[in-house]
Every structure is written in C-alpha cells, then in structure tokens.
Amino acid sequence: MVMARLRSALRACREREAAAVVDAAGQARFSGVESSFNDFMAVHFNYTRQHDLVYVLKVKNMKMNKLLEQYAEVIRIGSPRWSEAAFTRIGEAYRNFIKACSSTDARRARSRAAGIVSKHPGIAGAAARGQGDRGVYQSDRG
C-alpha cells in the first residue's frame, strides 16, 4: 500500500516536471518567433505604384508563410499555454494582412475616384455642390 502511494507520487512528480519542461520549451520557441512577428507587422502597403505594391505583397506573403511554419513548431511542442499564444499570434497576423490589403484597396478606390472626378467636370461640379452621383444622373436625364 505504501509502495503504491510512493509510485503514484513519483509518477505525479515526473508529470509535473515534464509539463514544466514542455512549458519552458514552448515559451523559448515562442520568444524566438517574436522578432519574425514584429518584422511581419512592420511591413506596410504605403506605396502608390502597382509594381511596388506587388513586391511588398509578395514579401509580406513570404513572411506570413514563415510565421505559420514557426508558430506550427511552437504548437508541436505541446504546451497548451504557448500553443494558445501561437494561435493568437497567427490570428493577429492574418488580421493585419487582411487589414493592410483592404486599406490598400480603399486607398486605390479613393485615388481612382479622385482621378475620375478631376477628369469629368460634371461629376466634379456635382461633388462640389454636394449632390453626389444622384445629382449627376438626375441632371443628365432632365
């Protein structure tokens, strides 16, 4: 009876030590990925030329793939705490990527709209009067 309790206590002690080692390994690997994550987050699409945007998009995509591989290594270690942190960072990276892409599209759309407005005096006049598109279409009809 005493030997069974002793074995059980020893097994529990080893499991706690193993969990602590796995947690430490997960933390170490996660900390090693932070510099790559910060490099990824630093890439912005603040360019107006399409060639530059395509280049930066490729760079950001390569950095995203690298991040996914590195965070997969963190998850493979098996620490629940650091796996959760890795999944959170993956989500933040995707959010940043989508936000950057959508803001680029919005900027392009605004710049295209500004170009159209400057080329077409009827639209520019309606925009200046605050009528928007409806005013232009109504004045064309009547």
Domain limits, the chain: 2-141
pLDDT digits (tens, 9 = 90+) for 49-68: 888 888 888 899 999 999 99
pTM of the predicted model as reported, rounded to 2 decimal places:
0.65
Contact 47, 58 (CB under 8 A): no
Q: For residue 70, is pLDDT > 80?
A: yes
Cα dihedral sign, 82-86-88-89: positive
pLDDT digits (tens, 9 = 90+) for 77-114: 999 999 999 999 999 999 998 888 777 555 665 465 55
